[in-house]
Structure formats: structure tokens, C-alpha cells
Amino acid sequence: MSSRKVVLCGAGFLGSNIALAVSRANNAAGFLRRIQVTSRNPHKVYCKLTETIPRDHLLSPVPVDVTRRESLKEAFENADTVVSLVGILQGSMEQFEAIQWKGAENVAQAAAAVGAKLVHISAIGADSSSKIPYTRTKGLGEEAVLSHCPNAVVIRPSLVFGPGDGFFNRFAQLSRYLPVLPVFGKGDTLFQPIYVGDIGRLVEILTRDSLNAACNQVDGKIIEAGGPDIMTYRQIMELVIKYTGRYRPIISVPWTVGEIQGEILQRLPTNMFTVTRDQIEQLKIDSVITSTHSNSRSHVDLKEFMEAHSYKMASVHDVLPHYLK
């Protein structure tokens, strides 16, 4: 059986689920995709993966620093596919630029140097002209990636959920301690949550034979990734209440209060209550697949793509009851 090397550059919640999806599909693939976890500190994630993934599906983890291009050369050697999961949720403008923009560019250049296919994980709403550092550097990162790897596939997920996620689980935890669940403004910002297993399967399909029709269909294109449910921020809080079984009133908090809260909390050590001012600004923007892209040659319809591979994406109602507590 032939062997192929898939490098996960960046790990954690999403990377671990991608690794699991690739491993589970190996037996049906007709070849073995061996997965290498690559990040600043990959050993903890690697050890966790050995609990669910056969060791012969894993390569030894390789520490790298995406802000140092030279550190990527050895990690990417002989790679067939590189999945770039480079990103942070909070930090200074300099940190966002170094990691989500220049770091993503370094990954793309290193992948191009070895002739590897690149799958780049971005975010819905990525916009190089945005004033929000996270959103702006995601957009700049996409532009850099496609300039160095024109055949890269860019995936823009909405809110990603599943066991171990940092959103639904966080509010479930907060519901243990808070007498109410807050939403900012009217709580009418829209989200299109996508199950982490569906992202994993999407990437698994893209790491198959680079000559197959699936890869040719999406090379150089953007896939906005949202699930079958579109819901408001308030409706998400209602789901937390429903599936945890803990009744809490949902109260509206003015945006100005949220901005002040973010300004204060972002200066304190990170904890379950931490929110930054920029994250408050992001909450004002809908995170859903944009219909303006439906006929664009540069965008791929995720639902049609997955159905073409006989795969049906999961609803939040299919998954949340099994892990939200």
C-alpha cells in the first residue's frame, strides 16, 4: 500500500478532528495517509491522538514556529498535503500580523517549495480591509496564500462546534455560575454553526489523490463552510439552556457595555469570562454563507460538494445533546 504524508500545521480542537477524519477514511482510501502534527508544541496533541488513531497512521510530531520560515523546511519535506490551521483568537495587532498573515504566508511558501497541496483554514468574513485585527489578518493571509499557492483551497468556517469546542462548551460552563446568560445588542447576529466532524470530512476528501475530480473542482477556490442551521446569537443561548437543562433568563446587554467589558477583561489573565473589545466588534457581524458568492467562479457550494460525495452534514440538534452539559 502506498503512503502519503499529510502535515497538520497547527493543531488543537479542529486539527485533532481533521486527523481523526483522515485516519478513519484510510482503510477505504486504498492508500495510507500518514499524519504529522506540526506546531510550536505538538507533543501533547500527538499523545492525545494516539488514544484514538493507530500509531502507524501517525508520524512523529515536529515542532515549528510559523513566524520563522526556515523552521518549516524539515517539517514539510516529502509532504503531499499541508493543512494550515495557523491562527489565534486574541492578541496584539503585531501578533495577529505575525501569525495569521505573515505566518500563513510562510506556510504557503514552504508548501509550494516542496510541491505540496495546501488547504488553508480561514474564517467567514475574512476581509483584508477590515478594521478588526482578526478579520483583517485572516483576509491578508488568504491573499498571501493564494499568491504563493494559486491552487490552494481556502476554507472559511462559520462557528465550529462539537465535543471540546470553545463556544457552546464555554457558555454551558458559564451557565453553571451565572444567574443569567447575556447577549449583546438584541442578540440578532446570525451564525451558521458547522460540525467539526464535517470540516474534518471535507479536508479528508481534499487530501485524497490530487488527480481526482474532487480536488480539481476546488483548486484555487474558496469554500465558505456553514452547516444546515442558521440561527441568531439569542437562539444559540436558548440551545445552551435547552441541552444543559439549566434554565437561565437571557438578557440583552447594550453594545457599549460589551465594549467597556472587553476593554477591561482583555487586560486581565485569560479565563472563562475573557472577551476582548475586538471580539465584541466581531459579534456585530453575521457569520453565515453569503449568497452573493453563490454564482461566483471563485467559490464552491459546500452543500452540493458534500452531497456529491454522499455525505450529509450534521445539524446542531443532531450533535449538541450528546456532549453539552
- The terminus-to-terminus CA distance of the chain in angstroms comes to 43
Bridge partners (DSSP) of residue 269 are: none
**Would you say 146 and 158 are in contact if contact means Cβ atoms under 8 Å apart?**
no
Of 187, 203, 165, 201, nearest to 319 by C-alpha is 165
Give the pLDDT band (50/70/90) at residue 31.
Answer: confident
Which residues are CB-contacts of 312 (< 8 A; sequence separation ≥ 6)? Answer: 306
Per-residue cell: 171: 457558555
Q: Above 70 in pLDDT, residue 179? A: yes
CA-CA distance, 303 to 228, in Å (whole number)?
9
Q: Given pLDDT bands bounded at 50, 70 and 90, which one contains residue 297? A: low
pLDDT score for 264: 78
How open is the CA angle 18-63-10, to the nearest 5 degrees?
30
CA nearest to 53, candidates 83, 84, 27, 80:
27
> At 289, which amino acid appears?
I
* C-alpha–C-alpha distance, residues 313 and 323, integer Å: 18
Tell me what the pLDDT averaged over the chain comes to.
90
Q: At 118, phi and psi to the nearest 5?
A: -115, 125
Q: What cell was used for 287?
A: 457569520
- Asked if pLDDT for residue 1 goes beyond 50, the answer is yes
Residues 213-223 have pLDDT tens digits of 556 689 999 99
- Per-residue pLDDT at 298: 74
- Residue 111: pLDDT above 80? yes
| 304 close to 152: Cβ distance less than 8 angstroms | no
What would the mean pLDDT of 63-75 be, rounded to a whole number? 93
CA distance 75 to 248: 48
**Residue 224, pLDDT above cutoff 70:** yes
Question: Tell me, what's the pLDDT at 277?
Answer: 83
pLDDT at position 213: 58
pLDDT in tens, 132-172: 999 999 999 999 999 999 999 999 999 999 999 989 999 99
Going by pLDDT thresholds of 50, 70 and 90, the confidence category of residue 309 is confident
- Look at 2 and 91; give whichever has higher pLDDT: 91
Lateral strand order in the sheet of 222-225:
62-63, 32-39, 3-9, 81-84, 117-121, 153-157, 222-225, 299-300
Q: Where are the beta strands (DSSP E) in the chain?
A: 3-9, 32-39, 62-63, 81-84, 117-121, 153-157, 160-161, 181-184, 190-191, 194-195, 222-225, 231-232, 250-253, 299-300
Question: Distances from the Cα of 119 to the Cαs of 85, 181, 317, in angstroms?
Answer: 9, 37, 29
Rounded CA separation 59/38 (Å): 10
Q: Of 307, 255, 308, which Cα lies nearest the Cα of 277?
A: 255
Does the reported pTM lie above 0.85? yes
Q: What is the pLDDT of residues 245-293, one digit of tens each?
A: 999 999 999 988 877 877 777 777 776 667 788 888 888 999 999 865 5
Q: What is the mean pLDDT of residues 226-232?
A: 96
**Could you give the CA distance from residue 244 to residue 285 in angstroms, rounded to a whole number?**
27
State residue 29's pLDDT score. Answer: 63
For residue 294, the model assigns a pLDDT of: 47
Structural domains of the chain sorted by starting position, each given as residue range(s) with its CATH number in brackets: 3-163+193-226+288-313 (3.40.50.720)
Tell me: pLDDT of 210 over 60: no
